[in-house]
């Protein structure tokens, strides 16, 4: 089993590296480096602050869902577990790695593996639903986005992800509590919207001339794509999606790639509190 997991992790690493290599083969590395070196500090610092805020809201969202599933978590523990998960997930597949670490911490803390696992899965499904909902709202508000058949795909994604979430909650065999679930869904929507703001600030740091509306049409798609566990923490997949969709808005590939890579780096930097907790805290 360990060998299979190692092989899958290596395969996902190959996927991430391969996509990045292909992108860099089509985009001048010197051009990318020149843009990266010209980044302004203040917008990047603000974007990092927004990423940290996102993690705080994720911990509150998860705690709300866990409570609805009969798992009591303190705000302090939820925040610690989220940062442990984010840091531990940096070398694991997409968001799944982060969830595994977070679930492990919750199971140790509560002594209930089924409830810990259910809370993490429910939180991930709510996050996916929030991304699909933001995509649909962006499409409706912007009158069309750079995604083929978005008018059909966006509503379909909302229905599919919402149905999956509802089905999972019903399968947990606990009384369905609409208020906590709705609150978690609204939190997911807010978290992803903050992520869009972070992307817009990152673009502004590099002088990329694109409106906030453009990033609302791009980032939700990248979030949905990176939820698929085929790469290491979304690397490569995120870059490919952002570069492809940004081209439809007239954004140069080098600019889009720099923004995407920076977003990944900001997430790595924001996960560093998890490294401190890993060394100095036992996860309980």
Provide the mean pLDDT of the chain: 88
Provide the b/e sequence for 160-198 (b: ≥16 CB within 10 Å). Answer: ebbeebeeebeebeeeeeeebbebbbebbbbbbbebbbb
**pLDDT of 53:** 97
Token pair of 145, please?
A: 């986005």
Chain-centre distance for alpha carbon 201: 17
Q: Tell me the mean pLDDT in the region 211-221.
A: 91
pLDDT of 94 > 60? The answer is no
Task: With beta carbons less than 8 A apart as the criterion, state whether 201 and 50 touch.
Answer: yes
Pick the residue with more confidence: 16 or 117?
Answer: 117
Report the predicted TM-score, pTM, of the whole model to 2 decimal places.
0.92
**pLDDT of 91:** 67
Task: With beta carbons less than 8 A apart as the criterion, state whether 218 and 146 touch.
Answer: yes
Provide the b/e sequence for 211-242 (b: ≥16 CB within 10 Å). Answer: eebbbbbbbbbbbbbbbebbbbbbbbbbbbbb
Q: Tell me the mean pLDDT in the region 215-229.
A: 90
pLDDT of 215 > 90? The answer is yes
Q: For residue 74, how many other CB atoms are within 10 A of its CB?
A: 10
């Amino acid at each position: 089993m360990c060998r299979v997991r190692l092989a899958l992790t290596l395969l996902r690493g190959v996927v991430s590296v391969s996509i990045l290599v292909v992108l860099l083969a089509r985009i001048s590395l010197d051009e990318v480096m020149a843009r990266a070196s010209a980044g302004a500090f203040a917008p990047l610092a603000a974007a990092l602050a927004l990423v940290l805020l996102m993690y705080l809201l994720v911990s509150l969202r998860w705690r709300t869902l866990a409570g609805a599933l009969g798992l009591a978590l303190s705000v302090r523990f939820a925040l610690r577990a989220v940062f442990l998960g984010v840091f531990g997930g940096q070398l694991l597949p997409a968001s799944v790695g982060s969830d595994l670490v977070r679930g492990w911490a919750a199971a140790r803390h509560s002594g209930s593996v089924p409830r810990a696992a259910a809370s993490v899965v429910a939180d991930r499904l709510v996050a996916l639903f929030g991304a699909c909902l933001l995509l649909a709202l962006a499409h409706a508000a912007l009158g069309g986005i750079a995604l083929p058949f978005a008018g059909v795909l966006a509503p379909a994604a909302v229905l599919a992800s919402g149905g999956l979430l509802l089905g999972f909650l019903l399968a947990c065999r606990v009384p369905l509590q609409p208020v906590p679930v709705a609150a978690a869904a609204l939190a997911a929507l807010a978290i992803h919207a903050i992520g869009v703001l972070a992307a817009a600030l990152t673009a502004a740091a590099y002088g990329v001339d694109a409106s906030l509306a453009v990033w609302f049409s791009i980032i939700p798609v990248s979030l949905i794509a990176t939820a698929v566990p085929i790469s290491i923490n979304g690397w490569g997949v995120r870059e490919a999606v952002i570069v492809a969709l940004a081209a439809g808005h007239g954004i140069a590939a080098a600019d889009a790639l720099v923004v995407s890579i920076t977003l990944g780096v900001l997430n790595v930097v924001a996960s560093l509190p998890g490294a401190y907790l890993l060394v100095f805290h036992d996860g309980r």
